[in-house]
Amino acid sequence: MKIAVIGSTHAGTAAVTNMANLYPEAEITVYEKNDNVSFLSCGLALYVGGVVEDPQGLFYSSPEQLRGLGVTMKMQHAVQEIDTARKQIKAVNLVTGEEVNDSYDKLVMSTGSWPIIPPIDGTKLDNILLAKNFNQANTIIEKSREVKHVTVVGAGYIGVELVEAFQQAGKEVTLIDGVDRILNKYLDQEFTDHVEQAFIDRGVELRLGETVTRFEGKNTVEAVVTNAGRVETDLVIMCVGFRPNTELLKGKVDMLPNGAITVDDYMRTSDPDILAAGDCCAVKYNPTGQAAYIPLATNAVRMGTLVARNLIEPVMKNVGTQGTSGLHIYDLNMASTGLTETSAQAMDVHVKSITINEKHRPEFMPTAEDVMLKVSYLPDSRKIIGAQVLSKADVTQSINTLSVCIQTGMTIDELGFVDFFFQPHFNQPWNFLNKAGLAAADTRKAELV
Ligand SMILES: Cc1cc2nc3c(=O)[nH]c(=O)nc-3n(C[C@H](O)[C@H](O)[C@H](O)COP(=O)(O)OP(=O)(O)OC[C@H]3O[C@@H](n4cnc5c(N)ncnc54)[C@H](O)[C@@H]3O)c2cc1C
């Protein structure tokens, strides 16, 4: 059996390592445009900020390691065409220019995503950079050394992490987003207010609700112009989101309107010999039951592993995702799973929410930090549909617990009586998750009276 894999960061590397073990007789060939595999982009801001000093720690595999598993690694090879009828691919060696033709019995599509570059004048100026792969991380570090002022466009989690990194490195920083608050896809306003204040307290300029209209400069960027003003700047990092890298299969397999490949529960595309995983795909989003585009490394490694298991026949189902994610900005720890009230409203899903504000552990302990937990649920079925937490104490694992609750269809009332441990170092006798469940039951009683 000949298996071709296109792309080897997280989804591809997970698929390849598992396939090499499961199918030792198979002939596996990986085509990868970059000169490295498995770069952990999640460490990019930490690397830029100097927290991670040795960049080698940002890789958990290497072409040599995969070759050691018997895999043929065609590094710095870009696949240019896929003939799905003949099951053939054409690639080019980016170093020599040589054309490579190959055939496959099974194709694993793990081409991931690429940052969106909005159609704005001036995006080609020098010092307007993207933040995705290792080479780009190195360019950001190199270019930022000399500059005084940095502008980050896009206040999602990547933009926000970079703002923190640049501010801590002593740069003047402006953060611009068209939406009127940061992190609006992950957290509701009462949470993001705290994070915005943390930036304001440290002198970061927030220009929210402003749209970038153009970049100005001769060769190198000198200013960002928005619908509300002008920011003089030396360096711009574009963090406005990602689009799936799926041009190669356009019109050949089913996709969402944004180009994300749709896969079934077993990672099979609409072409029986092509499986796909990671950022190039849509995922099953449990809170709505619909396919959604949620590019996360967590989804990528799980899907890549499932591709390997289901390559020959469907044996292991994808349980789907809640889009669970976490973030650490200065001394604030936050995490969310499933729908927020903001995202529910945008999707026309009616939810109710309970918010618990309390200390993370008893106040007789030397320190006790505030915790804000919000749990959202469907009013009729009372099933938990989303949750958010923020605290200076690291209570983010509670969101993983609530992710399980969403996945298994637990109701808010059942949450009130789940068995959680108590130990004064860590928490209160009534865990704040239980309290959310109990409070929801109280509101219901009040409504019935
Ligand atoms: C700055 C940053 C921080 C992040 N932080 C987190 C985090 O904290 N937690 C989290 O869960 N996720 C995080 N993510 C998201 C995560 O990095 C992605 O979800 C993950 O990289 C997806 O992996 P992938 O293998 O599907 O795709 P990608 O990482 O996009 O990799 C695709 C690979 O395919 C190759 N390729 C594409 N086209 C071709 C072709 N034609 N021929 C050959 N090779 C090709 C590319 O070179 C690339 O190596 C972060 C992303 C960024 C950019």
* DSSP class per residue in 307-359: HHHTSSS--S----B---EEEEETTEEEEEEE--HHHHHHTT---EEEEEEEE
Strand partners, 55: none
Residue nearest to atom 28 of ligand 1 (CA): 112
Strand partners, 216: 223
Backbone angles phi, psi at 56, to 5 degrees: -65, -25
| Pocket of ligand 1 contains residue 32 by CB under 6 Å | yes
367 Cα: distance to centroid of ligand 1 (angstroms): 39
| Pocket of ligand 1 contains residue 111 by CB under 6 Å | yes
Residue (of 367, 345, 281) closest to 318 by Cα position = 281
Pocket test for ligand 1, best of 30, 34, 40, 42 (most atoms within 8 A of CB): 42
380 Cα: distance to centroid of ligand 1 (angstroms): 38
Which atom of ligand 1 is found nearest the CA of 11?
A: 25
Residue 186: CB atoms within 10 Å: 23
How would residue 449 be classed by pLDDT, with cut points 50, 70 and 90? Answer: low
Q: What is the tens place of the pLDDT at every residue in 12-60? A: 999 999 999 999 999 999 999 999 999 998 888 988 888 888 888 999 9
Average pLDDT over residues 410-418: 97
Average pLDDT over residues 377-398: 97
CA–CA distance, 225 with 235 (Å, rounded to integer): 14
Predicted local confidence at residue 44, as pLDDT: 87
Cβ atoms of residues 28 and 19 within 8 Å = yes
Cβ atoms of residues 340 and 187 within 8 Å = yes
Q: Three-class SS of residue 87?
A: coil
Mean pLDDT for the chain overall: 96
Asked which of 139-143, 296-300, 392-396, 440-444 is least confident by mean pLDDT, the reply is 440-444
Report, as residue numbers or ranges, the catalytic residues. Answer: 10, 42
Structure tokens at 172: 């003047």
113 Cα: distance to centroid of ligand 1 (angstroms): 6
Predicted local confidence at residue 62, as pLDDT: 96
Which atom of ligand 1 is found nearest the CA of 278?
A: 26
Pocket test for ligand 1, best of 9, 61, 89 (most atoms within 8 A of CB): 9
Q: What is the tens place of the pLDDT at every residue in 65-86? A: 999 999 999 999 999 999 999 9
CA–CA distance, 236 with 225 (Å, rounded to integer): 12
How would residue 446 be classed by pLDDT, with cut points 50, 70 and 90? Answer: confident
CA–CA distance, 202 with 233 (Å, rounded to integer): 18
Predicted local confidence at residue 248, as pLDDT: 98
279 Cα: distance to centroid of ligand 1 (angstroms): 6
Q: What is the tens place of the pLDDT at every residue in 212-221? A: 999 999 999 9
Predicted local confidence at residue 374, as pLDDT: 98
Average pLDDT over residues 363-370: 96
| Pocket of ligand 1 contains residue 150 by CB under 6 Å | no
CA–CA distance, 178 with 201 (Å, rounded to integer): 22
Predicted local confidence at residue 372, as pLDDT: 98
Which atom of ligand 1 is found nearest the CA of 303?
A: 26
pLDDT of residue 291 exceeding 90, the answer is yes
Average pLDDT over residues 2-13: 98
pTM of the model: 0.95
pLDDT of residue 447 exceeding 90, the answer is no
To the nearest 10 degrees (0 to 180), the angle between helices 397-408 and 432-448 is 50
Cβ atoms of residues 256 and 283 within 8 Å = no
pLDDT of residue 335 exceeding 80, the answer is yes
Predicted local confidence at residue 445, as pLDDT: 73
One-letter-per-residue 3-state SS of the chain: CEEEEECCCCHHHHHHHHHHHHCCCCEEEEEECCCCCCECHHHHHHHHCCCCCCHHHHECCCHHHHHHCCCEEEECEEEEEEECCCCEEEEEECCCCCEEEEECCEEEECCCEEECCCCCECCCCECEEECCCHHHHHHHHHHHCCCCEEEEECCCHHHHHHHHHHHHCCCEEEEEECCCCCCCCCCCHHHHHHHHHHHHHCCCEEEECCCEEEEECCCECCEEEECCEEEECCEEEECCCEEECCHHHCCCCCECCCCCECCCCCCECCCCCEEECHHHECEEECCCCEEECCCCHHHHHHHHHHHHHCCCCCCCCCCCECCCEEEEECCEEEEEEECCHHHHHHCCCCCEEEEEEEECCCCCCCCCCEEEEEEEECCCCCEEEEEEEEECCCCCHHHHHHHHHHHHCCEHHHHCCCCCCCCCCCCCCCCHHHHHHHHHHHHHHHHHC
